[in-house]
Amino acid sequence: MSLGPLPNRRRGASLLIGTLQGCLGAIFLGSTILFFNGLQMLSLVLRPFSHEAFRRFNSWAAGTWWGLCVQLSEFFYGTRLVLTGDDVPHDDNAVIVLNHQSMTDIPVVLAVAHGKGRLGDLKWFVKDVVKYVPGIGWGMLFLDCLFIKRNWTEDRDYVLRVFEKVIRYSVPIWLVSFVEGTRVRPSKLAHSQKYARENNLMPPQHVLIPRTKGFVASVQSLRDYLDAVYDFTIGYVEGVPTIWQWIRGDVQRVHVHVRRYAVDQLPREDEALSRWLLRIFEEKDQLLSRYYENGSFPARDGTSP
């Protein structure tokens, strides 16, 4: 089974301190993101004259605010990221796939990107409704993030237009795709296991069967522009935290195993690329099983830390 929720172990004074810490963090981040939204609105005056200046400004704004999130976790809360697997170059254009367990997966990705100096280059596949959310959603509108309706027939033309823009303006990109489509939950996992048995796939224990159509379209559309696909496997300790537990400082350590696949080594046919992603998630499921047994990921695939 997938990892359960992180228990609430704080009591008494510790709970009070954590709650105060979380409230202060939420107020700080909430107020600063609205400030950056204001700057992004002002940046619209740049767009008619220089798309490059507009893009660079908004990349800086996003990278700066996301950097505050990372620094708050690391220095104020003491959250430590344990990275294993492949070391990735600083200048790759990449699609990132990962297992999705909680909203806290997002600050984990931010921490990895921060370590590589790529925060401002992050772009996300997110639900269409997010663009109406003050702060996060409004900010993403200025970054060419992809707001999708989870219906490929409706999303396809819009997504391809964004990719054409990325290529035309040579936009550096780390494109984050939660290919499972939703967070792992017992009911969702049971549905994936049933689907796997009906389609001669290995029933997963810790991940959901990925939705391959959007991933295939992304890689095929950007193939000549991308350098690699990154596979991030996130392993939480003791349980999966909520975003409130994260900003309260309850998460001290998160493990992330990284695998890098050069694009020129990926299958070129759509069906073969779809099968490749299914295989990657079978391997991810096995990797998580070993992680929960041993408490760590291998330093490299097949080796001990």
List, in order of start, the domains of the chain with CATH numbers: 12-294 (3.40.1130)
Please, which pLDDT band fits residue 51 given cuts at 50, 70 and 90?
Answer: very high
Average pLDDT over residues 31-39: 97
pLDDT digits 0-9 by tens, 187-215: 999 999 999 999 999 999 999 999 999 99
Distance CA 288, CA 52 (A): 41
Residue 47 buriedness (CB in 10 A; 0-12 / 13-18 / 19+)? middle
Instruction: Answer for the pair 225, 93: CB distance below 8 angstroms, yes or no.
Output: yes
Please, which pLDDT band fits residue 151 given cuts at 50, 70 and 90?
Answer: confident
Taking Cα atoms as reference points, which of 141, 108, 101 lies closest to residue 124?
141
In this prediction, residue 300 carries a pLDDT of 67
Instruction: Answer for the pair 61, 232: CB distance below 8 angstroms, yes or no.
Output: no
Instruction: Answer for the pair 260, 48: CB distance below 8 angstroms, yes or no.
Output: no
Average pLDDT over residues 63-67: 98
For residue 97, list its beta bridge partners.
Answer: 177, 231
In this prediction, residue 189 carries a pLDDT of 96
Average pLDDT over residues 128-150: 93
Taking Cα atoms as reference points, which of 212, 176, 174 lies closest to residue 100?
176
Distance CA 66, CA 120 (A): 8
| CB-based contacts of 285, cutoff 8 Å, min separation 6 | 202, 204, 205, 206, 207
Q: Say yes or no to pLDDT of 228 above 60.
A: yes
Q: What is the CA radius of gyration of the chain?
A: 19
In this prediction, residue 153 carries a pLDDT of 81
Q: Say yes or no to pLDDT of 95 above 60.
A: yes
**Beta strands, E only, 17-133:** 80-85, 94-98, 122-127
Of 75-79, 110-114, 243-247, 256-260, the poorest mean pLDDT is in 75-79
In this prediction, residue 305 carries a pLDDT of 39
**Beta strands, E only, 68-194:** 80-85, 94-98, 122-127, 146-148, 174-177
Please, which pLDDT band fits residue 303 given cuts at 50, 70 and 90?
Answer: very low
| CB-based contacts of 2, cutoff 8 Å, min separation 6 | 101, 184, 186, 189, 205, 206, 207, 240
Average pLDDT over residues 77-105: 96
**Beta strands, E only, 100-200:** 122-127, 146-148, 174-177
